[in-house]
Amino acid sequence: MRRVFLSVVLFCVIALPLSCVPRNYSRTEFALGTVVQVTFFANRVDSDEVFKKLFSVADKYERMFSSKRSFGEIYKINSSGGSVKLDGEIYELLRHSDYYYKLTKGAFDYTLYNLISLWDLEHLKASPLSGAIDEALVHSGRDKVKFDKSFIRLTDGVKLDFGAIAKGFILQKLSDTLKDLGIHDFMVNAGGDVILSGLYQRKREWNIAIKDPFGEKEFAGYITLTDATIVTSGDYERYFVDETTGKRYHHILSGESGYPAESGVSSVTVISSDPVRADAMATALFVMGADSGLKLVNGITDVDAIFIKQDGSIATSARISQESRGGRLFFIRK
Ligand code: ADP
Ligand code: MG
């Protein structure tokens, strides 16, 4: 009996502290049209169940919000030609999109599907013809979208695309899912759009590296943060090069010119506590460029931005300062 008692005591002394050490769980899968990496720290959990749940949530929303996947909700709306009943979550996405359209005076434009499909980066070898671009622009614009809580009606052949905001919305859902499962120290990285919560190894804030858009340095800079989303929109990942002129065309379009935005910016990194805000604003600020982008950002709350311009110079919003340490550039948020 004494021996049993002793071994129980010994088991508790050794095993209990071990079970209190948070474990590192990580998984990378292809989802949301990109590589999604999830890392979290927790005491023992059934991580297979957690990852299964997370990736099924990602998949559900990707289907729902994609304008290209047939039979998704957005696809249905785009091909309807009449009034369509709105699902609550599509309404939320639409409401946010409309807000950022207005805030950025159309730099973030969710009505550009016709133009976006014309600029089919995977198959084009040269710029589309200007007549086709003009035609696509005629069939875009917020004035051709009528919606309320229950219904949406698209007029004049306008079609919607949420590629610049859906990932932010889905990151919010993934974060909510993790928290519902009792996990609070995590990072979800969806192709460079990163949501952070709690502490890395439950000890310190997360260190995030910002890519060098020119591919020359290992990283352009570093930032330490938590309970925030950090999103980068750039011209260096999705593009094609015109074989005859050598001109490069990327995937963030100007709803004014109909061409890929040329604002002198190579990448813009945005930080916000709201992932939807971070995603929408990164795209909008890329279109707007550093000067007018910074004017907007410095006048509103909960958005910080780091612009890396094509000439290599860096401009940041007022709340971010730069510090060089050991040859590395660090961004510090006040
Ligand atoms: P990524 O998808 O590479 O993370 P973004 O968040 O900037 O980058 O989204 C770019 C996508 O958004 C494009 O592929 C296209 O579907 C759509 N898009 C392009 N230009 C605009 C724009 N001016 N406003 C809103 N959406 C846009
Ligand atoms: Mg975006």
Report the nearest-CA residue for atom 15 of ligand 1: 163
pLDDT band at 20 (very low <50, low <70, confident <90, very high): low
140 Cβ inside 6 Å of ligand 1: no
The per-residue pLDDT for 19 is: 52
What is the per-residue pLDDT across 271-309, written as a single tens digit (0 to 9) for each? 999 999 999 999 999 999 999 999 999 999 999 999 999
Encoded tokens for 122: 């995977």
Q: Considering the entire predicted model, what is its pTM?
A: 0.93
- Which stretches within the chain are classed as H helix? 2-20, 47-65, 73-78, 88-103, 113-118, 130-138, 166-180, 275-288, 290-298
pLDDT band at 14 (very low <50, low <70, confident <90, very high): very low
SS3 of residue 54 by DSSP: helix
SS3 of residue 330 by DSSP: strand
Evaluate if residue 8 carries a pLDDT over 60.
no
The mean pLDDT value of the chain amounts to: 93
State the distance from the centre of ligand 2 to the C-alpha of 251, rounded, in angstroms.
11
Encoded tokens for 334: 């006040």
Evaluate if residue 1 carries a pLDDT over 70.
no
Report the nearest-CA residue for atom 6 of ligand 1: 164
Evaluate if residue 109 carries a pLDDT over 80.
yes
Long-range contacts of 288-294 (CB under 8 A, 24+ apart): 288/104, 288/107, 288/263, 289/263, 289/264, 289/265, 290/263, 290/264, 290/265, 290/315, 293/263, 293/265, 293/268
Closest ligand 1 atom number to CA of residue 233: 7
Mutate to test the pocket of ligand 1, among 65, 145, 283 (most ligand atoms within 8 A of CB): 283
187 Cβ inside 6 Å of ligand 1: no
**Percent of the chain predicted with pLDDT > 90:** 84
115 Cβ inside 6 Å of ligand 1: no
Q: Which residue has the tokens 């992932």?
A: 275
**Percent of the chain predicted with pLDDT > 70:** 94
